[in-house]
Amino acid sequence: MLASALRAFFLWLSDRRWMAGIALGTPFLRRMPLRFVAGTTLDEAVAAVRKLNTAGASATLDVLGESVDGRVAADRAAAAYVTAIERIASEGLDANVSIKLTQMGLELGVDECIDVLNPVVAAGDRTGIFVRIDMEGSATTDRTLEIVARLRAAGHDVGPVVQSYLHRSPADVERLANDGVRVRVCKGAYAEPPEIAHQDRVAIGDAFVSMCEELLRAGAYPGVATHDPDMIERVALFAREHAIGADAFEFQMLYGVRRDLQRQLLEKGYRVRVYVPYGTEWYPYFMRRLAERPANVLFVLRSIFGERS
């Protein structure tokens, strides 16, 4: 009941844009979004990526935005990604981009979404920059994987995210691994019912590690997206035991989260990619991430106060 109440509360806050000004004007509250969002502009995001690159980490840029229901808004979002890709290339940054399809007009239909995406993937092709297609709620999974398959069939360098808590994911990963597709594996943060997704943390973690292992065996360069040191070590141990080099995969983490662990992995010779969100839509983004899993509130607080220097 408490989790439901918190979820409703954060969703209510997400629609109160005036709260963004209060958050930025309150020293303690300001630390939260500014810690996890690189800024509101591409210039600020580029500065954050440059700093990460200097420290030895790669990055992936996410232009924050809401789900759109019109073609004009979808094209505007796509244009922002084209600009980001061209900026990455012109400045020689070690970065790629991550895209949510609902921002690209997925609700307008698969064909129209692909039409919106075409300038983005074309920019990726011109510059040699990989385009990651994010995974959202389970209602979008089939359409997301269909779009990835169609873009790849057309010769574009794209790859999806797979969520380990979904019961369907092992079969999806097996197919993607056989095709050598670059996959980011994450646990999944959307509220899904038991018939669709594991509810037990141990089962989710075991599925996560198993999927990473399958992708490693296939040489598909997985993105191992977790902040859990135990899961990181399990994947790293599998790689060592099977003589898989540290250049055959990468660990992926969120901007501002466990920066100490990011440094440790880099010092050990592992590749680390940091997910860098930016844009004016930071406030609803941040609140909706809290609403998806109210336990994230404690995670945020622990990240601020409990991170080892």
- Which residues are designated catalytic? 134, 184
DSSP readout, the chain?
A: -HHHHHHHHHHHHHT-THHHHHHHHSHHHHHHHHHHS--SSHHHHHHHHHHHHHTT-EEEEEE------SHHHHHHHHHHHHHHHHHHHHTT-SEEEEE-GGGGTGGG-HHHHHHHHHHHHHHHHHHT--EEE----GGGHHHHHHHHHHHHHTT--EEEEEETTBTTHHHHHHHHHHTT---EEE---S---TTTB---HHHHHHHHHHHHHHHHHTT---EEE---HHHHHHHHHHHHHTT--GGG-EEEEETTS-HHHHHHHHHTT--EEEEEEESTTHHHHHHHHHHH-TTHHHHHHHHHHS---
Q: Is 296 exposed, middle or buried (0-12, 13-18, 19+ CB in 10 A)?
A: middle
